[in-house]
Amino acid sequence: MLNLVLFGPPGAGKGTQSEKIIEKYHLVHLSTGDLLRSQIQAGTELGLKAKTLMDQGILVPDEVVIGMIDSKLSENEKAAGFIFDGFPRTVKQAEALDRLLASYNESITVMVALIVPDEELKKRLLTRGLTSGRPDDQNEEKIKTRIHEYNSKTTPVADYYRQQNKFVSVEGVGEIEEIFEAICGAVKQGA
């Protein structure tokens, strides 16, 4: 089973590359951003609480996202593997993911980190904001908050996987197809 964590700052291309990875490896896509946005769209209590935080660019509480991943794993017990996109974003989430996978006798195979400079991230997110309708893409202050959240709360997750010898980094600037090839190479290296 291939269980891949696709890691990187907001706008690094996780969603973009996930689509290509799923097609090639037939993995179940678990994007906590997408899961939260569908809760918002459905108008659930969870969605309403998450919206306030997401619109500001702040991470939602660990318990909320861990609970969502827990139920998605149990719904997909027969999957060939998973791609975790935008999760884990804190060390607490990474520890919880290890525990959840262990309960199925599974573990993370590899973490692939997309490396993209802050200026490029800001440019991409502001461009996406012109058409995405996402409130968190539409102003520079919110984007700054998201990058700050990433630097303070999420970067330690890379060390967590580095200590397990599961960390591989890939240059995330360039043609989408070239980056995808590099990710496939990293998967081979880590598997």
- Least distance to ligand B4P, CB of residue 87, Å: 4
Is 138 a binding residue for ligand B4P by CB under 6 A? The answer is no
Going by C-alpha positions, the residue among 113, 135, 138 that lies closest to residue 54 is: 135
> Among 16, 76, 138, 169, which residue interacts with ligand B4P (rule: CB under 6 A)?
16
Q: Which two tokens stand for residue 11?
A: 């706008």
- Under 8 Å CB-to-CB from 130, ≥6 apart: which residues? none
How big is the site for ligand B4P, counted in residues (CB under 6 A)?
29
- The residues annotated with a catalytic role in the active site are 14, 89, 128, 134, 146
Which three-class secondary structure state does DSSP give residue 61? coil
Backbone angles phi, psi at 22, to 5 degrees: -60, -45
Residue 2, strand partner residues: 81
Distance, in Å, from the CA atom of 151 to the CA atom of 101, rounded to the nearest integer, reads: 26
Is 180 a binding residue for ligand B4P by CB under 6 A? The answer is no
> Among 14, 51, 72, 166, which residue interacts with ligand B4P (rule: CB under 6 A)?
14
Within 10 A of 48 (CB to CB), how many other CB atoms are there?
11
- Least distance to ligand B4P, CB of residue 120, Å: 8
Residues in the chain: 191
Going by C-alpha positions, the residue among 177, 130, 183 that lies closest to residue 8 is: 183
- The 84-123 site mask, x for binding ligand B4P (CB under 6 A), equals --xx-x---x------------------------------
- Least distance to ligand B4P, CB of residue 48, Å: 14
Burial 161-191 (b: 16+ CB within 10 A, else e): beeeebbbbbebeeeeeebbebbbebbeebe
Instruction: Give, as ranges, the residues between 49 and 78 that touch ligand B4P (CB under 6 A).
Output: 53-54, 57-60, 65
- Footprint on this chain of ligand B4P (rule: CB under 6 A): 8, 10-16, 32-33, 36, 53-54, 57-60, 65, 86-87, 89, 93, 124, 128, 136, 146, 174, 176, 179
Binding site residues for AMP, as ranges?
32, 37, 58-60, 86-89, 93, 134, 146
